[in-house]
Amino acid sequence: MNVKNLCVTVAFLLANQVGTSFGETIPFKSEQWEFSGKEAEVSEYKGQNALFLHDAEATLRDSEFADGTIEFDLLTLGDKGFSGVHWHLQDNGYDYEEFYIRPHQSGNLDANQYTPSFNGLAAWQIYYGPHYSVSLDYKIDDWMHVKIVVSGNQAEVYIDSNDPILFIDDLKGDFGSGKLRLRSGFAPAYFANFSYDAQERPALKGHALEPEAPVENGVDHFYVSTPVAEDLVATATVISVSQIPNDWVSLGVETNGIANIARARQASRATNTVFARVTINSDKVQTKRLNFGYSDRVRVFYEGRAIYSGNNGYMSRDYRYLGTVGLFDSVYLSLKTGDNDVYFAVSENFGGWAIMAGFDDMDGISVR
């Protein structure tokens, strides 16, 4: 083999190595970047030409990224914050895939997070556990190398490692492609040596975990209304059908049995509440326990009456309370023969707009 052919062969092999990226580093002073937020500044830090972000974002204009490799160096100071990257960012700025680190949770099971964002709502209270985060110790005030390889509806994350620290077996967004954006929320962070390399369905090195177990006897869809003001239900003890918007969309649940309301509706400060309806058909008069979970707040109405009110928001019970969603609450329903409608009025602040429900058994009932 002559030298020319050898070089071509080596280049081909290197280009097809898992996680190898040949994307050109994009200087932060380039006009390709668009900055927004509280504080964004390019400066030298710890030997790197770095971008300092504090409650700010940097969007790479005209980047149309579907599959491939994203790489950058990241330095945090250990304060409570959320620093990372968005990909498949849509033109509305609200829909994207995201991975970020929580430096203040170094070594804990929630030291980092993968989550999609729909309609501007990231959803760590919905997507939690080993499919979405992993325990990892971070270097503080020192550079770490982050690499994300995206392939179809899967991705894997490397942080100062030759093997992936997190394998994301199901990207939830189904966005296909979009722009790239760096972000640091709350605490400041430094970014350096950002590059990306578009590749069609690169091979992944990691392996998927066992699928999330389905919720036994779980409700697999809800009918969700248009958003209303929370004041409508805040102190209501009764409600009539005429007060509920009659513009319903069917919303299926995620693989963990939780319905992400932000997939279907967009919250605002004025209208942050939807009604999620479940219709239970019973073949006889009977009492059934309905188990449910929600985020952030819920009022449950049955037969026009309020039968439950609760707050599951972040830090709503103590300073460590996360407000993740599970079947932790229950009501007993006195069902009549035929259809029985239950309305969950679900209100959201941040972290995940969610509802889920299930029964101890399905004897004599069906859900539609």
The reply to whether 56 falls in a domain is yes
The reply to whether 166 falls in a domain is yes
Please report, as a single letter, which amino acid is at residue 274. Answer: V
Q: Are residues 141 and 233 in the same domain?
A: no
Q: What value does the mean pLDDT take over residues 2-10?
A: 39
pLDDT of 2 = 44
The reply to whether 117 falls in a domain is yes
The reply to whether 137 falls in a domain is yes
Q: Are residues 56 and 186 in the same domain?
A: yes
pLDDT of 23 = 80
* Cα 126 to Cα 145: distance, rounded to the nearest angstrom: 28
pLDDT of 24 = 87
Sequence-separated (6 or more) residues with CB below 8 Å from residue 208? 154, 167, 169
Task: Check whether 299 has a pLDDT greater than 50.
Answer: yes
The reply to whether 210 falls in a domain is no
* Cα 47 to Cα 29: distance, rounded to the nearest angstrom: 17
CATH no. for residue 118?
2.60.120.560
Please report, as a single letter, which amino acid is at residue 107. Answer: G
Q: Are residues 177 and 37 in the same domain?
A: yes
Q: What digits encode the pLDDT tens for the residues 32-66?
A: 999 999 999 999 999 999 999 999 999 999 999 99
Q: Are residues 31 and 170 in the same domain?
A: yes
Q: Are residues 145 and 288 in the same domain?
A: no
Task: Give me the number of domains the chain comprises.
Answer: 2
Q: How far is residue 130 CA from its own chain's centroid?
A: 14
Q: Are residues 326 and 245 in the same domain?
A: yes
Q: What value does the mean pLDDT take over residues 323-331?
A: 98
Q: Are residues 169 and 265 in the same domain?
A: no
Task: Check whether 113 has a pLDDT greater than 80.
Answer: yes
Global confidence as pTM: 0.91
Place of tokens 């999609």: 116
Q: Are residues 74 and 164 in the same domain?
A: yes
Q: Are residues 232 and 339 in the same domain?
A: yes
Domain with 295 in it: 221-367
* Cα 1 to Cα 50: distance, rounded to the nearest angstrom: 43
The reply to whether 288 falls in a domain is yes
Q: Are residues 171 and 105 in the same domain?
A: yes
